[in-house]
Structure 1
C-alpha cells in the first residue's frame, strides 16, 4: 500500500534510538523527508546520516526537550530545513516511574510540555500543509501504562494526560484537516531500552512479563513505528482523536 508520504516532511522528537528511530526510518522508507532531535549530538548525526542514505532529505539537532526555547527553535528549524512540515511525532520521554517531585517535574517538562511546546511551534506549518493538501498530522506516543495502574506513577499519569490533550487538539483541528492521534505501545524490546535492560539484568522478571502477554513476546520498535506511520499518513485522513493501542493484547480493557 502506498501511504502517500512521498514528498511529505515529518519531525520526530526523541528520534535517535528505539521507537523514535524506527518511526523516523519508516517515514524515510516511505519517501518522506525527516527531521529528528535527541539529547546527544553524535546520535543525532548518525541518525541523520542513516536517513539520508535512504534517499531522502534529513536534518537533526541535539535538543533538551525540557527547554522551551530549544524545542520550539528545533521545530522551526526543521520546517526551514525541509521546506515544509506535514507531520509531527512527539516521542521524547523522561521515562521515569517514581512519584518524587523531581520525577513529576521531569515527566511534565519532557513528556507533556515537550509535546505541547513542539505542537505550538509546528501548528502554523501543519495548518498550512493541511490547507494545501487536505491533511496534516500530530501524533503523540503515550503508553498502555496510561490505563494500567498498580500503584502511583508519574509516568502513567502524564501519559494519560497526553491522551486527553490529544482529543482536544483533534476536535479543534478537525475542520482544518489537522489530525491528532495517540499511539500507546505496550512492552517494547530493543537493546539498550528499558525492557532490554530488564532482560539482561533481571531475567526472572523479564520472563514474568513475557508470560503476561497473550502473544508470548514483546513488540519490536518497528511494529510500533508501522502503526504510527500509517496513522500519520493521508491513508488515515478520516481518523482523528483516537488512542491506538499497540500492545499485543496485554491490556484487558475494552475500548468503546
Structure 2
C-alpha cells in the first residue's frame, strides 16, 4: 500500500539511534524528506551519511532539545530548507528514571516541553499542509505503574494528555495528533542492553513480563509511528497506539 508519504517533509527528534533512527529510515524509504536532530554531533553525522548512502533524502542537525531557542531555530531552518513541514515526530526522551528533583526536571524539559516547543514552532507550517500530523512517542509506563513510575511515567502520561488535547483543538484545521506507546525496545547501545549487562535481575524480570518471550525492535515501533504519520490515517487523531506485544494489561476503552 502506498502510504502517500512521497515528497512529504517530516521532522523527527532523537533520530540518530534506536527508535528515532528507525523512524527516519522508514519514512525516507517511503519517499519522505526527513530532517532529524539529536544531541551528539558525531552520531548525527554518522547516521546522516549512512542513510544518504541508501538514497534517502535526510538532513541531520545536532540539537539539545532541552534548549527551547535551539529547537525553534532547528524547526525554522528545516522548514526553510525543505519549503515547509507536513509532520513532526517528537521522539526524544531523557530516560530519567528514579527519584530526585533532577530526574523530574530533566523529564519535564526533555520529554514534555521539547514536544510542546517543537509543536509551537512547527504549527504555522503545519497549518499550510494538506496532510499535517503530530506524533509523540510516549511509553506504556505512562498508562500503568511499573519500575519507571515517578518522573518518567508521569511525563509520558502527560504527553498522551497533551496530544489528545491537540487533536481536539486542531481538528478544525485539519491537523491530526496521536501518540505511540511502545513497551520494552531492545537495540545495541540502548537502555535495555545496558540493563542486561548491569542489572541482569531487572532484565530477566522485564523479559518475563513479555508474553511474546522477547522485547520489541526499533523497527516495530517505527512502523506504528509511520502508519500514523501517513495521510492514509486521515481519520485517526487523538489516539494512543500501544505497540508493546501485549506487555501491558490495561484495557483501553
- What is the TM-score with the length of structure 1 in the denominator? 0.95
8 A contact 1:179–1:240 mirrored in 2: yes
Structure 2: distance between partners of 1:181 and 1:48: 27
Equivalent residue of 1:206, what SS? helix
Structure 2: distance between partners of 1:99 and 1:196: 22
Aligned to 1:236: 233
Shift of 1:58: 1.7
Aligned to 1:206: 203
**Aligned ranges 1:30-41 → 2 under 5 Å:** 30-41=30-41
8 A contact 2:23–2:219 mirrored in 1: yes
Aligned to 2:112: 112
Aligned to 1:128: 128
Structure 2: distance between partners of 1:58 and 1:182: 23
8 A contact 1:97–1:155 mirrored in 2: yes
8 A contact 2:144–2:250 mirrored in 1: no
Cα-Cα RMSD: 1.2
Confirm or deny that 1:250 pairs with 2:232.
no
Structure 2: distance between partners of 1:191 and 1:52: 22
Structure 2: distance between partners of 1:72 and 1:201: 37
Structure 1, residues 130-170: CA drift from partner, whole Å, max 9, x if none?
xxx3x211000000000121475100000000000001100
Confirm or deny that 1:162 pairs with 2:159.
yes
Confirm or deny that 1:190 pairs with 2:187.
yes
Shift of 1:38: 0.6
Equivalent residue of 2:59, what SS? strand
- What is the TM-score with the length of structure 2 in the denominator? 0.96
Give the one of 149, 161, 164 matched to 2:145. Answer: 149
Aligned to 1:71: 71
Structure 1, residues 39-79: CA drift from partner, whole Å, max 9, x if none?
11111112222232232322121111110100111111111
Structure 1, residues 165-208: CA drift from partner, whole Å, max 9, x if none?
00110011112110000000000000111111112233343222
Equivalent residue of 1:85, what SS? coil
Q: 4+ residue runs of structure 1 moved beyond 6 angstroms?
A: none
8 A contact 2:16–2:43 mirrored in 1: yes
Structure 1, residues 191-248: CA drift from partner, whole Å, max 9, x if none?
1111111122333432222121111110000000011001110110100000000011
Structure 1: distance between partners of 2:37 and 2:195: 26
Confirm or deny that 1:20 pairs with 2:20.
yes
